[in-house]
Every structure is written in C-alpha cells, then in structure tokens.
C-alpha cells in the first residue's frame, strides 16, 4: 500500500521561471492539500483539492495554482518564481468523510519536494 | 496572533526521562487535534490524534482541554530515537480540512 508520493525530490530553478510539482495520494484518499515549509518554519497551508476543485485556499498569491485529476493525483504550479519561494513543498492526502462530528481524519504527508530558487 | 502556539524549546533530556510538551490554540471552533513529529529535513509524520477523553499510545499520552484550549503530549521513558521536532496541529471546524501547525518543539534525548 503506497503512501503519498511526490516528485521530483529536489528541484533548482531561477527567478522568474515556472515550476510544476506532482503528488499522488495514499490509496483510498481523495483529498489533497499542499503546504509550504520554509527552512526553520512550520508548514503553511497553500490550498486543498477535492473532487477536482480547489476547496479552500490559504494566504498565497495567485502565482500559486493547482489541479486535481480524476485519479485524485494533484499538481502544484508556481509562476514567476521568487527567491522567497525556496522551501520544502509538502503534499498531504486524506479521506473526506463528509460533514458532522467525527471528522478526525488525519492527513498523511509525502516526502516533499525541496525547491531552491537561485 | 498565530492559530497554534508552542514553546519552541529546545528540550534536552536524558534517556529514560519523562518530558511534556504543551500548546494552545486560539480558535474555540477548532475541531480536530493532532501531534506530528518531524525529523530534520523530513516530512511531518502523524504521531497521534488527540481526543477529548485523552488517549495513550505506548509511551505517548495526549490530552486535550477544550475549556482552556490547551493540548499536551507526554513522553515517558525517552529513547534516543524520540529526538525530533514535535508539531502541535489543529483543524478548524470548517468545510475544508486544512491544518494549522504550531512552530514545533525540538526535543533532543541525550545518552
């Protein structure tokens, strides 16, 4: 049973370039969330995808966009890269069990993609 | 104000010691609570969910006090392998499922 997988593991880009990161959720999971973790900081929520739509978004600019495919995998795209975008990008998956009490479904993280901007 | 506040530490304890971490959350509508551990330059890994009645998993015990908006983690008989950063994580009672992380508490267990 494969866990959350992300690719690539490492990536080096220059300012102004565009990047696409990929994530395959854990088997049985239908929800994918993306987080940015700068060095020495805690993860910050970027956005979440469910049923191929962006369900919620954190405080990130429009340069950050995403997509979810019918097989639940997801992509994170970042345009016009800045030096401050250098971080570990984490994908987390979970299973949506609907509204109401008992929605204590934890998220499981992939190994992350370490993005360096030169 | 941050959604989740933690003492960053570091906590340096000898093997076999008992250590406790605390965190507070600001939103009373928070619904779900977790402790994750993160090793250096690795992804966060779920340690345990935290339930209102308190819960235990081996040497680890988690407690939740909703009235005080306070979460704790107790580690008994510390092992060298427990050295990591422990992240207090909260999910708000919204339509989505995004997590808010504390800054983490760094633990080093010393031989």
Give B 17-76 residues with CB within 8 A of chain A: 31-32, 34, 41-46, 49, 51
Lookup: tokens for A61: 């600019």
B87 to chain A, minimum CA–CA distance in Å? 8
Q: pLDDT: is A113 or A28 the higher one?
A: A113
CB pair distance less than 8 Å for B44 and A109: yes
Phi, psi of A85 (to 5 degrees): -85, -5
User: Rounded to an integer, what distance in angstroms lies between the CA atom of residue A75 and that of residue A5?
Assistant: 12
A43-58 per-position pLDDT tens digit: 999 999 999 999 889 9
The Cα B38–Cα B40 span in angstroms is 7
CB burial class (10 A; 0-12, 13-18, 19+) of residue A32?
A: buried
> What is the pLDDT at residue B29?
84
**Taking a contact as any Cβ pair under 8 Å apart, which residues of chain A between 54 and 113 contact chain B?**
55-56, 58, 88, 90, 92, 94, 96, 99, 103-112
DSSP codes joined into one string, A62-73: TTEEEEE-TTS-
Q: Which of B34, B41, B51 sits opposite A106 (nearest CB)?
A: B34
User: Does the beta carbon of A25 lie under 8 angstroms from any beta carbon of chain B?
Assistant: no
The 10s digit of each residue's pLDDT in A27-46 is 999 999 999 999 999 999 99
Q: How many residues does chain B have?
A: 111
Asked if A33 lies within 8 A of B102 by C-beta distance, the reply is no
Q: Is B53 left (phi over 0), alpha (psi -120 to 50) or beta?
A: alpha
Cα B63 to Cα B1: distance, rounded to the nearest angstrom: 23
Q: What contacts 24+ positions apart, CB below 8 Å, involve B51-56?
A: B51/A104
């Amino acid at each position: 049973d494969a866990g959350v997988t992300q690719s690539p593991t490492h990536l080096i880009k220059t300012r102004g370039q565009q990047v696409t990161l990929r994530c395959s959720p854990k088997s049985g999971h239908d929800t994918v969330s993306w987080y940015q973790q700068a060095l020495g900081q805690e993860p910050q929520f970027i956005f979440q995808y469910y049923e191929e739509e962006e369900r919620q978004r954190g405080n990130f600019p429009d340069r950050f966009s995403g997509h979810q495919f019918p097989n639940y995998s997801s992509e994170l795209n970042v345009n016009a890269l800045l030096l401050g975008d250098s971080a570990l990008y984490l994908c987390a998956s979970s299973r949506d069990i609907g509204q109401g009490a008992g929605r204590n479904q934890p998220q499981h993280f992939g190994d992350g993609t370490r993005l360096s901007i030169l | 104000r941050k959604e989740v506040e933690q003492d960053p530490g570091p906590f340096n304890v000898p093997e076999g010691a008992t250590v406790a971490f605390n965190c507070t959350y600001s939103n009373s509508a928070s619904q779900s609570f977790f402790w994750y551990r993160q090793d250096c330059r690795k992804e966060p890994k779920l340690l345990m969910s935290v339930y209102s009645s308190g819960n235990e998993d081996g040497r680890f015990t988690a407690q939740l006090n909703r009235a005080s908006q306070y979460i704790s983690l107790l580690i008994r008989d510390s092992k060298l392998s427990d050295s990591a950063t422990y992240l207090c994580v909260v999910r708000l009672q919204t339509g989505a499922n995004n997590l808010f992380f504390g800054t983490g508490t760094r633990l080093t267990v010393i031989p």
